[in-house]
Every structure is written in structure tokens, then in C-alpha cells.
Structure 1
Amino acid sequence: MPRALWLLIIGMVVNVTGSSFLWPLNTIYIHDHLGKSLSVAGVVLMLNSAASVIGNLYGGSLFDKIGGYKSIILGICITLSALVGLTFWHGWPAYIIFQIIIGFGAGIIFPSMYAMAGSVWKEGGRKAFNAIYVAQNLGVAVGASLGGIVAAFSFQLIFLANTIMYVIFLLIALFGYKGISVNSGKQKTINIESPLVKNTRNLQALLMLCTGYMLCWVAYVQWQTTIASYTQEIHISLTQYSLLWSINGALIVVGQPLLNGVLKHLTTSLKLQIIIGIGIFIVSFIVAGNASAFSGFLVGMIILTVGEMFIWPAVPTIAFDLAPKGREGFYQGIVNSTATGGRMLGPLLGGMLVDRYSMSVLFIVLIGLFLIAIITTLIFDRSIKTKMVSGTLHGQN
């Protein structure tokens, strides 16, 4: 991998480690320390996600206009200013205001990181996005683990630790990203149709793909919300539940490079890779839906992790391949915003279904969403008449 990609990987680990100090503990802090209801905590998280969606779209467009370096610096500065404020003023209602600003600032960063990753490694294909995906999950695993340790001493130290990590990220970006030359490395395609028509078709294809991607996230986030609550009802300890996510992160870091090697030898197309992943997701939720002990949820989580390793890196790879030259950031913004939208809508849908009906009904509905996602994945590129010479969409690297 080129040096520039390694710098992006290190930056992503530091970035996500910092944010992961706080996000798993947000609900606990709002409910237990600020004395607000779980519903209020849900609203705060929803506003944070909504701001992140806006930040994703704005950040992606900004990448195309002013480049990745300036976009990332802007996103870091916005987030860091809110984190500094949160370190000193973490009462109510300052907490909700800073969470909205943090969501917007962090949202600007992610599409630029993904777009730069695809741009700095011409021959990397899906491997560049796989590397960023693994780095992101390594940050989640490290940050969430350290966050629990720090919070045991003092919750206020969480805000300080998050701020320090973002200061480190700012230094990495300032001195490491300025010299990165962004070149998409896209080869010219045979222009059977006008660029405007082709770009419209590609955007429609991406939106169709991202519809299924969002539905997958709506279901996936249930493991952090409704399924998490359900495990408490059947007397699975918080320690055991936390272990599930530690295993998730460890499997991704260890397993993704192995999976990449398998997929390379099988020359699997990205479309087929996503469909296989959704099928694995369905198996995971069938196992979880019938689980009544920790061992059942452990098996379900392992299967879920394998499924996400197939899907999550593949979608931004396809988005980068579909993007016209000079629009890579905007397309990555769409991918990130639909993922965030799924994380925002998932808890609301899951909570309503469980409150009105039951966990069994929820699992049935989620499997239905996965089937819709399979359909949208199968047909998303049907309207594209010209094949891209680079071949990423139809299987390479």
C-alpha cells in the first residue's frame, strides 16, 4: 500500500478511537448523569445522526470543490471546537447542542477519507476501502474498550480523552495529508451516450444500491438497540453483551485480510459479494431470533460479522467506481449519509415494532427488509448501458 494510504489508515484509527470513547456511553450519560429519560436520549442521538447525514452530503461535495485536505481539516476543526466546549460544559442543554455540532463535523470527515483512499491507490480497487474499513473497526474496538476503563475513573475524563485524540488527529492531518496528491486513476470509458445521461444513470444506480444498503443498516443497528435490550430481559449480563462487540471488532481486524485473499482468488463480483453478505445477515438474524442464551447470540454475532465484512467495504468501492471524475466525494457522501440514515431510523422502527408487537415480529420484518435489499442490489446497475473499463464493479482485485 502507498504511504498516503497508510497515513489515512492511521488517521482513521485515531479519529474513530476518539469518537468511540463517547458514543457507546452517550445514552448512559444522558440518562444516569443528566437525569433525562431514555426517550430524550434517543432524540439526542437522532439529532446527532441527522446532523451527521447533512455533514456527509456537505463534506462529499466539499471534497470535490476544495479537495480532501481542506475538507478534513474543516471537519476536524468543527468537531474539535465542540469537543473542547463539551469538556468544560457537559450539562443540559449544552450537551445536546455540542452533540449536533459533533455529528455535523464528523460527518464532513468520513466521505473525504473514503474518497481520498480510493484516489491515492490507482490499482488498489476494493483493497483501499477494505483497509479503511478495518481501520475504522480497530478504532471502534480500541476506543470502546478504553472508554469503559476511563469512565470507571471519571466520566468527565471521557470528554477530555476524546478531545486529546482529535488533537492528535488534527496534527496527523495537518502534517500528513497536505502533500497527498489526489488522483482518481479512472480510465476513460467508451462514450456510447452523453456524459450527462451517463452520470444520471450512474447516480440512479448508486441511489438504488444505497436503498438496500440503508435497509441493511436499519436491521444491523438492532443489535445495538432492541436486541441489546432483549438480552438484558433474558438475563444476559452487560459484560457478556459487551463481549459480543469486542469479538465483532477482533474478527473484522483479523478476518478481513483473510477474506480479501479468498475473494481475490474467487474473482467474486462486488454485486455477488453484497448479495452473499445479505444472505449471511439473514442467517444471523434467524439464529438471534431463536436464541435464548448467550451462546446463541455469540453464534449470531459471529455470523453477522462475516456478513458485514462482505457488504460494508463493497458499497463505497462501487460508489467510487460509479462516480464521474471530480464527483468522488459527493458519491461517498451519499454512501455515508444513507448508512447514517439507517442508523438513525433503525432504533425508531425497531422500538415501535417491539412495543406494539413482539421481538418475533421484528425479526420477521427485518428479514423482509433484507429480501428487499437483495432485490435492489440485483437490479441497481440494470440501467447502466456502458461497462467501466476499470472493471471494479464486475470483479477485480
Structure 2
Amino acid sequence: MSIWRSYPRSLKVLLLAMLVNSTGMAFLWPLHTIYITQGMGKTLSEAGFVLMLHSGAEIIGSFLGGYLYDRIRGKRTLLLAVLTSASLIFIISIGLSWPIYILSMVLLGLGIGTIFPPIYALAGVVWKEGGIKSFNLIYLVLNFGVAVGTSLGGIVAQFSFRYVFWVNGLTYLLFIFIVWFALDEREPVYEATVKEDAALTPKKEVRHTKQSFHSLFILCLGFMFCWVTYIQWQTSISNYMHQLGFPLSAYSALWTINGLLILLGQPLIQWFMARLKRPVKWQLLSGVIFFILTFALLSHSQSYGGFITGMVIMTIGEILIFPAVPAIADRLAPLNRRGMYQGLVSGAANVGRTIGPFLGGLLYDGFGPLVLLYSCIFICGFALICFGTYQRLQYTQKEISTVKVHK
């Protein structure tokens, strides 16, 4: 409780809003396919097509969210995105014809994608001295909300899919209430300084921005590769386990382990990384190595114990990578482009989540699970290269220093 009291009020509000949002979203996103196939009577391929469009719209929404943050600030961007998402959820709940449903899902993806860049941009603003700790807390709360939402969503869906949409919509309205009345976003105080510095040393300012953007691009490329492999756990690996004869309950238990490890192990792992006092680049590299070990293990083991061990190893890698990337982006971002940089990070994750299932399906169906697993190791190698080299494009040695990690 004393640790909670030490956090800035605006960060607490942001964490509460993120908890509400992630819980509401987790009510619905695992059930989209079931709703389309069972509730609307469509085929699995049709459901996959709609979800692909939805994910593609989230990519665009990520860039839009970052752009709007830099133009109209985070609070207004969040209110606009969440109000749009809530309206679409309630519209979908009334029952729509197939073409209108597809359009609504695309617009919903656009709204949902717009939410996350301002969340992460604000996390770097409301507690600047916290360094990476703000992003660790956002990541922890996000996963806690997902664990709660997914467990409750299935229960509610047993009564009616409409209730699931309503609960999701109500959480969006609660999110709006929290952000509107409780989030205190101070006006930026750096704009005049930035303009003045640019007038004094325009070439240096432009060069710094260009080098930081190039570093961010390499970082995001590595992040995308990580997501391409990570998403296989939710798609191809589930089919692989079914092919081996494991029941759905055995697969679901792996995600329970994942959630518990994140909630219980994330603070411990981050404390350990802080004690090591190593540059955050080594945290990223370590995380990718854990990813590689996971797929290497699965390629040589078909036992359920192997899948449990693989999930444990993968979760450790996830804890090391996923909060660190937006924290580094916040460190790289020029003062007036924080939103754009977080938009690119969110966009990279969405690209990985979009192309990962398609690529995994092609490899699995065409060549089998072993080729898919070896390909994931190969893809992780590209992530390793990206994370190992992104800092080389920085302008000065001071600018390539690690994200500040506090004990």
C-alpha cells in the first residue's frame, strides 16, 4: 500500500483506466470468432477475414492515435477514441446485417487502435522520474485486466452474446468517466523551448530527430518480429496441441500459467533487472533468447510438460521485452513527437499480430509444425539483430544510454 501511495495521482488514474479498458476488451475479443460462426452463422474463413480487417484497422488506428496525441493531447484523444469504440460496440449489439457488421468491425478496430499510443505516451509524461517503471505497471495492469475479462467473458456469453457487448460498452463508458473527471493532463511546458532550440541550432535538432527516428524504426522492426512469433501461441500452436491429442482445457491452462507468471513474476524479474544495472538493450536481447529457447524446446518435445515449460520460458521473455520497447520509444522521442513514436510501437505490434497468424498458417499447413517452429527461431534471429543494433544510429553516446531504471 505504501508503494501505491508513492505513485503520482495521474499515474494511478491512468492505471485504473487501463484496468477497466483491458478488462472490458478481454470480455469480447476471444469470443469474436464464436459470435461470427455461431451467432451469425458464417464460416470460419469468413470470420478470419473480418478479424484480419479488424486488425488492419487497428494498425491504422495506432498511427492515428499517435498523430492525434501530438496535435490535441492525450486526454482528448482518449475520449474521442473510447467514445467512438463504445458507440460502435452498442451498435453491434443490436444485431447487424453482414456488410454493416464488417464495416462496424473495421471502424471498431480503428477506434481500439487509437487508444493505446496516448496511454503509453502519457505513462512517460505523468511520472518521468519513474523511468521504465511506469511502463512495467501499465503492462502488469493490462495483463491483469485480460485475465479477469477472459474468465468472466465466457460466463456472461453463456447467457447471451448481447450481454458481452453491453458489458464491454459499459466499461468503455466507465473509462470515459475516469479519464474525463480524474485525469489531470497538464499543458506542455516545453513547446517554446523546442522552438527556441530549433531556431538556434536547427541542423543539430534535425539530425537528432532523424537519428532517433531511425533507431526507433529498427527497434519497432524487432518488436514486430517478436510479435510474429509470440502470436503463434494463440493460433498455430493451439492447433498443434489439438493434433497431438491434448484437450482444450490443457491449452487454456497454459494461458492461466501465463497470466499468473506475469502477475507474480513480473515485479520480481524487473527488480532483478534493476539490480543488475545493465543497459535495457540487454534486457531485450535476453528476452529474445528466451523466445528462441521456447521454440527450440517445442521442436524437440511433444509432451505436455514441454508445453508448460515452453510457456514459462516464453512468459519470461515477454516480461522482459513488451514493457521495455515503449519505454525506450519514450526515451528516444523528441518532446513534441512522443505520440507519434508510441503510435509506431503500437503499430509494429499490430502488424506482427496481423501477419503472424497468416504466416504461421501457411507454414503449418504447407510444411508442418516442425518447420513452423524452426522458422520462429529464424525470425527471432532477426529480432536479435534489430535489438542489438538499434542504438548504433543514435547521435551521441549520451543518447544511447539505457532507459533509467529505478529500484
Indicate the TM-score class for this superposition, using the shorter chain for normalisation.
over 0.9
Letter in 1 for 2:232: Q
Equivalent residue number for residue 273 of structure 1:
283
Distance 1:111 1:283 in 2: 31
Give the letter aligned to residue 181 of structure 1: R
Give CA-to-partner distance per residue, 1:97-130, whole Å, 9 cap, x none.
Answer: 2221111111111000000011010211000011
Q: Report the Cα distance in structure 2 between the residues aligned to 1:184 and 1:275, rounded to whole angstroms.
A: 36
Report the equivalent of 2:324. Answer: 314
Moved over 3 A (4+): 182-189, 387-393
Residue 83 in 1 paired to residue 89 in 2? yes
Which amino acid in the other structure matches residue 331 of structure 2?
A: D
Give the AA of the match of 2:98.
Answer: W
Aligned to 2:304: 294
Q: Does 1:148 align with 2:154?
A: yes
Match of 1:14 in 2: 20
User: Residue 180 of structure 1 aligns to which amino acid in structure 2?
Assistant: E
Cα deviation for residue 192 of structure 1 reads 11
1:217-254 Cα distance to aligned partner (Å, 9 max, x none):
00000000000111112221112211211221121111
The number of residue pairs the alignment matches comes to 395
Give the letter for the 2:230 counterpart.
Y
Question: Would you tell me which structure has more helix in proportion to its own residues?
Answer: 2
Which of 153, 169, 172 matches 2:178? 172
Counterpart in the other structure of 1:241: 251
Map 1:256-271 to 2 at 5 A.
256-271=266-281
Determine the C-alpha separation between the residues in 1 that align with 2:238 and 2:50: 19
Q: Which stretch shifts more, 164-173 or 314-323?
A: 164-173
Distance, in Å, in 2 between the alignment partners of 1:330 and 1:18 is: 26
| Alpha-carbon shift at residue 93 of structure 1 (Å) | 3.1
- Cα deviations by residue, 1:74-103 (Å, 9 ceiling, x for unpaired): 000110110110111255233322221111
SS of alignment partner, residue 41 of structure 2: coil
Secondary structure in structure 1 of the residue aligned to 2:393: coil
What TM-score, normalized to structure 2? Answer: 0.92
Unaligned runs of 5+ in 1: none
CA, structure 1 residues 356+256, in 2 after alignment: closer, same or farther (shift >3 Å)?
same
The Cα shift of 1:387 comes to: 3.4
Is residue 2:290 matched to residue 1:284?
no
C-alpha deviations, 1:281-307, integer Å up to 9, x for none?
111112223332322211111111100
Cα RMSD after superposing both structures: 2.1
Q: Which moved more, 1:76-85 or 1:20-29?
A: 20-29
Q: In terms of mean alpha carbon deviation, does 285-294 or 59-68 score higher? A: 285-294
User: How many angstroms does 1:385 deviate by?
Assistant: 2.5
User: Equivalent residue for 2:405?
Assistant: 396
CA–CA distance in structure 2, aligned partners of residues 152 and 57 of structure 1 = 36
Local SS of the residue matching 1:93:
helix
Deviation string 1:369-397 (CA, Å, 9 cap, x unpaired) is 0011111111112121313469444x533
- Asked if 1:303 corresponds to 2:313, the answer is yes
Separation in 2, partners of 1:53, 1:388: 32
Conserved 8 A contact 2:21-2:172: yes
CA deviations 1:34-73 (Å, max 9, x no partner) are 2222221111111111111111101101101111100000
Q: What are structure 2's unaligned runs of at least 5 residues?
A: 1-6
